Structure 1
């Protein structure tokens, strides 16, 4: 890939820690990568990126964060057709249903979904951060 954007929302810092570790993996693969908190990302710039890595924890009844992340995702969904997209997030309860639903939405938008979404329960430990780093590296060298 030529350029990747990591776009995430985090309330407790767990998903942010995952985003930073994923960026370390992408950087280690030598692929240019920009990291954005979702409110700092300009959806109009989406075509500047070959790949998108989107991160959001499970909220409420296993849904995406509704005030900041969901509106941006809704704005970008029509631009995902043909894009390589990876998903990640943390959760503290439930079965991971929010990720399954999110994966389906991304596929229905015509995106090329990378693997299954990466989910980590609660705060990522050292093994979890290593898993995130490897995820970023694998995504960066895919395609």
Structure 2
């Protein structure tokens, strides 16, 4: 995979910390990477990339954050057949549904034709040093997945 886009949303900085590490792994694996925040990104632009990585925190009792809603709805108008994709996110285990935003985004990408090449990466709150390394490996594995 040569050309990857990452779109993410972060409120407290937890998902952004994950995104930074995933991005480092993608770049170290040799892919060109474009990074954007969900509230300013255009879902239609995803067709210009080989790979798509989305990152979101889970809001409330298992919902997408508000800054991801427009992007999420706009995905309904985009055919992503054949694109490779992966999703990561942060959440809080004190809620009944842990990191539901990751699962919601995976399902939407599948609906739009993406091949999900990695299991969703979920981290409680902010990533530890060991989890930051997992995030970096997630990015690297994404680029090298077939």
User: Could you list the runs of 5+ residues in structure 1 that have no partner in the other structure?
Assistant: none
Partner residue, 1:59? 59
The reply on whether 1:120 has 2:136 as its aligned counterpart is no
- Alpha-carbon RMSD across the aligned residues, in angstroms, is 1.6
Partner residue, 1:87? 87
Quick check: 1:9–1:69 contact (8 Å CA) kept in 2? yes
Partner residue, 2:21? 21
Matches within 5 A, 1:90-101: 90-93=90-93, 94=95, 95-96=97-98, 98=100, 99-101=102-104
**Separation (CA, whole Å) in 2 of partners of 1:42 and 1:115:** 23
Partner residue, 2:107? 104
TM-score normalised by L of structure 1: 0.90
The reply on whether 1:136 has 2:135 as its aligned counterpart is no
- What is the CA-CA distance between 1:6 and the residue it aligns to? 0.7
**Separation (CA, whole Å) in 1 of partners of 2:125 and 2:17:** 11
- What is the CA-CA distance between 1:112 and the residue it aligns to? 0.2
